[in-house]
Amino acid sequence: MSRDRWAPSTLAVHAGLPEAVAGEPFLPGPVFAAPFHLPGDPEGAEYSYGRIGNPTWTNYEAALGELEGGEAVAFASGMAAVTAVLYALGEGGPIVVPDDVYFTTRSAAARLGAATAMEVRLAPIDTRAVVEATAGARLVIVETPSNPGLDVCDISAVAEAARAAGALLAVDNTLATPLRQRPLELGAALSLGAGTKALAGHADLMIGHVAARDPDHAEALLHWSLLCAQRGDATQAARLRRRLGPV
């Protein structure tokens, strides 16, 4: 059976795993290394320093990408993922943010709006209200189901309105997770989440991610992530050149 027809639970077991190699374990162990060997020009190395990337991180992003149906970029927390979307893809605005959304999302959007004189529109998690707010927007963020009110909206309808307005729709999918809802399949440009909560069990891990339908949006998020991790580092610049071209 094609992987495209696997149930989410089956896909979750296999997602992100490397090809089988004789004598290698089924599951690759986590890599905790900070530095990696860099013989010669570091630009040719896949990994250089743990803060920038490592094999475990790569496999995790591949697994999330399969679950979400797009290209995933991992972040240190859900709010790091939200902030990356706001700053890397919301430039120029206006930005639409739910009035019943995780409160630090509203705070981050408000700070960005105040710092750049960009319009930030608040709309309830209601399909008609969000659709009306998309006119002229650059970025629309919805959280469905919302936290804490558990309000929902029609992602497909909002995605259609966002496309017509030339806006990007980002869905905070933290509560549903890609095992229960796949926003990219419903037309959203971005699906983001705090893996800290339902995806990881809300007990032993803090992590976030954004999955994108368009690889260019994933590249922009990776660019933002790497610049935040270590601006000016030579090996970071090398990775960026390999992925994005000149920075």
The residue from 172, 182, 213, 239 that is catalytic is 172
Q: Is 51 a catalytic residue?
A: yes
- Rounded CA separation 185/167 (Å): 17
Q: Is 197 a catalytic residue?
A: yes
The residue from 51, 111, 242, 243 that is catalytic is 51
Give the position of tokens 């700070």: 111
Cα separation values, 31 from 15, 40, 55, 156, 227, Å: 18, 23, 7, 39, 22
The residue from 121, 182, 197, 213 that is catalytic is 197
- Rounded CA separation 188/197 (Å): 22
- DSSP-derived secondary structure for 135-191: TT-SEEEEESS-TTT-----HHHHHHHHHHHT-EEEEE-TTT-TTT--GGGGT-SEE
Rounded CA Rg of the chain: 19
Q: Is 233 a catalytic residue?
A: no
Q: Is 214 a catalytic residue?
A: no
End-to-end CA, the chain: 43
The residue from 102, 126, 138, 151 that is catalytic is 102
Positions marked catalytic: 51, 102, 172, 197
